[in-house]
């Protein structure tokens, strides 16, 4: 979410399915340059225009609350207020931050929404240039990072910044959240067979036709023709992918990815190329995919195994591209 730069190719490609299903499809742009796609089985009481306007409303609302690109968003106002105090949050923003915090705990801080100062320093935030920063700047950014600097009050739905210049970046979770919210909007219109995709993060419910599941292709990071490295069949589940080849810059022959290790303040430096996670909700899948990209191939794989995560990893080993499919992910393979 919230990336200024055009994502060259969506990591997940939507693979067409049965020919006779009456599927309504529309797409558009959100969060700046990110493409979204909505497909659903035609519903007698819902016109396409109505569905489009509802979806657009949801996307605008999520952006207005959680974007760090929009300087007047609810989140941006909290980020720019350099005061250590309790902030009242809208219920939706509270829920996303609460989920983010639980994923931080589960991943021992690999996932950390307070990583924003380092994200911005390397030029992956709304401002600044993509370049290797001074070491002193990284050390200064590190002092502002740590999910434990956030306290939440579940009753008041408020957030305490333990340090005044805490800066929250929801880019690794808000896209998935937006997908879920669009899904809920469709459900509230009575639509129960749908697929929503925003910038590669997907949520499905029901079927494309009859009992044919939605087919989602995970795009190969190696092939230039956009072909899928794996195709999965899902119904009632979501899938999100994070990859180091999606948003990066090169300097001195080295690749610097937009995934930041919160312990070093540097882009991750390991052999994991991408991580895809299947989960009931897209928000959790999105955050978990980013967390695995921080953990890397070895720690990521053991985390997946010990927590029964449905994950598909693409990594490099001995100069070759290899894949790992967790046991629970296999049931969705084509
Ligand atoms: P994409 O936007 O390509 O789907 P992600 O979901 O992995 O990718 O989100 C990456 C974004 O998350 C980065 O651009 C940055 O803003 C933010 N981020 C980077 N490192 C972390 C981290 N360790 N924890 C949480 N968010 C992160
Ligand atoms: Mg993510």
pLDDT in tens, 64-92: 999 999 999 999 999 999 999 999 999 99
- pLDDT beneath 50: ranges in the chain: 1-11, 13-19
**Res 5: pLDDT:** 33
Q: Report residues whose beta carbon is within 6 angstroms of any ligand 1 atom.
A: 1, 111-113, 115, 119, 124, 169, 171-172, 175, 199, 242, 246-247, 258-260, 262, 286, 290, 293-294
Closest ligand 1 atom to the C-alpha of 110?
A: 23
**Res 21: pLDDT:** 52
Separation CA 307–CA 211 (nearest Å): 30
124, 305 Cβ separation under 8 angstroms: no
pLDDT in tens, 6-60: 333 334 544 444 445 599 999 999 988 899 999 999 999 999 999 999 999 999 9
What's the predicted TM-score (pTM) here?
0.93
> CA 227 → CA 15, 216, 231, 317, distances in Å?
10, 12, 10, 22
What separation in Å is there between the alpha carbon of 286 and the centre of ligand 2?
Answer: 4
Q: How many CB atoms lie within 10 A of CB 60?
A: 12
What separation in Å is there between the alpha carbon of 113 and the centre of ligand 1?
Answer: 9
Separation CA 37–CA 43 (nearest Å): 17
For residue 324, list its beta bridge partners. Answer: 313
Q: Which residue lies with its CA nearest to atom 5 of ligand 1? A: 172
290, 279 Cβ separation under 8 angstroms: no
**Res 244: pLDDT:** 86
Longest dimension (CA), the chain: 61
7, 33 Cβ separation under 8 angstroms: yes
Q: Which domains does the chain have, with CATH numbers?
A: 3-65+174-332 (3.10.520.10), 69-161 (1.10.3980.10)
Separation CA 295–CA 242 (nearest Å): 12
**Res 334: pLDDT:** 74
From first CA to last CA, the distance across the chain in angstroms is 29
Q: Which residue carries 């937009």 as its tokens?
A: 258
């Amino acid at each position: 979410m919230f990336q200024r730069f055009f994502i060259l190719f969506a990591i997940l490609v939507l693979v067409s399915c049965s020919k006779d299903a009456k599927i309504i499809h529309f797409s558009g742009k959100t969060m700046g340059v990110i493409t979204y796609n909505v497909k659903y089985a035609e519903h007698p009481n819902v016109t396409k225009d109505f569905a489009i306007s509802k979806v657009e409303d949801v996307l605008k609302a999520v952006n207005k609350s959680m974007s760090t690109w929009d300087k007047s968003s609810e989140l941006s106002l909290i980020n720019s207020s350099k005061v250590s105090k309790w902030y009242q949050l809208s219920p939706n923003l509270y829920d996303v931050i609460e989920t983010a915090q639980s994923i931080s705990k589960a991943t021992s801080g690999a996932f950390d929404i307070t990583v924003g100062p380092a994200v911005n320093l390397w030029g992956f935030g709304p401002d600044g240039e993509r370049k290797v920063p001074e070491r002193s700047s990284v050390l200064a950014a590190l002092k502002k990072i740590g999910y434990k600097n956030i306290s939440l009050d579940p009753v008041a739905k408020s957030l305490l910044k333990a340090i005044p210049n805490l800066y929250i970046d929801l880019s690794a979770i808000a896209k998935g959240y937006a997908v879920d919210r669009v899904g809920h909007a469709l459900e509230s219109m009575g639509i129960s067979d749908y697929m929503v995709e925003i910038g590669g993060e997907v949520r499905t419910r029901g079927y494309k036709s009859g009992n044919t599941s939605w087919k989602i292709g995970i795009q190969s990071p190696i092939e230039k023709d956009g072909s899928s490295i794996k195709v999965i069949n899902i119904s009632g589940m979501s899938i999100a992918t994070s990859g180091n080849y999606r948003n990066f810059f090169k300097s001195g022959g080295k690749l610097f990815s937009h995934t930041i290790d919160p312990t070093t303040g540097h882009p991750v430096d390991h052999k994991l190329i991408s991580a895809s996670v299947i989960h009931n909700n897209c928000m959790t899948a999105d955050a978990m995919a980013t967390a695995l990209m921080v953990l890397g191939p070895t720690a990521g794989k053991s985390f997946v195994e010990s927590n029964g995560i449905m994950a598909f990893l693409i990594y490099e080993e001995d100069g070759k591209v290899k894949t790992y499919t967790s046991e629970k992910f296999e049931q969705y393979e084509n």
